[in-house]
Amino acid sequence: MRVYRITGKKNANDLMGTGAAMHGGRWNKKGSPVLYTGANKEIALLETIVHTPPMLIPKFDILTLEIPDNSITEIKIDQLPNNWKVYPAPTILSEIAENWIEENKTIALKVPGCIIHSSYNYILNCRHPEYSKVKLIERRNFKFDSRLTK
């Protein structure tokens, strides 16, 4: 399965979840290296936009990654608390994901996107013993249209 990630050029080579481990996120606590990816380029772009300050438009790359189809755990909306999509994210989400990380059964956690609920993000567990099966297929320059930050 292919997933997508749009990230600043200076971070594009880091596929080991360093940034997420340093800062934590909706689906991970500080100290847990995960890689946030999207099911398609569009959700990857929207996720990038919501985390980019309006006046700052860094140079981006778009990554296409291949993940094993047979190593995905899915969390459906009806398994989440009613407030799962609010910002800042409720801590229960990172706790759910931390349990998944600790179980170490799958490389990817498929979660609904809080921007577009019918789309999905894939959180990759960079410490999974088979994480080396995640392959970078392509890295390309991503032209960010500045109208998106207005």
Q: Give per-residue pLDDT as tens, 113-125.
A: 999 999 999 999 9
pLDDT of residue 147: 77
Task: Burial-class residue 68 by CB neighbours within 10 Å (0-12, 13-18, 19+).
Answer: middle
Cβ(124)–Cβ(68) under 8 Å?
A: no
Could you give the 3-state DSSP secondary structure of residue 119?
coil
Its pTM stands at 0.94
- CA angle (19, 20, 24) in 5-degree steps: 130
pLDDT band of residue 144 (cuts 50, 70, 90) is confident
Residue 110: partners with Cβ closer than 8 Å, 6 or more residues away: 39, 72, 73, 74, 75, 120, 121, 122
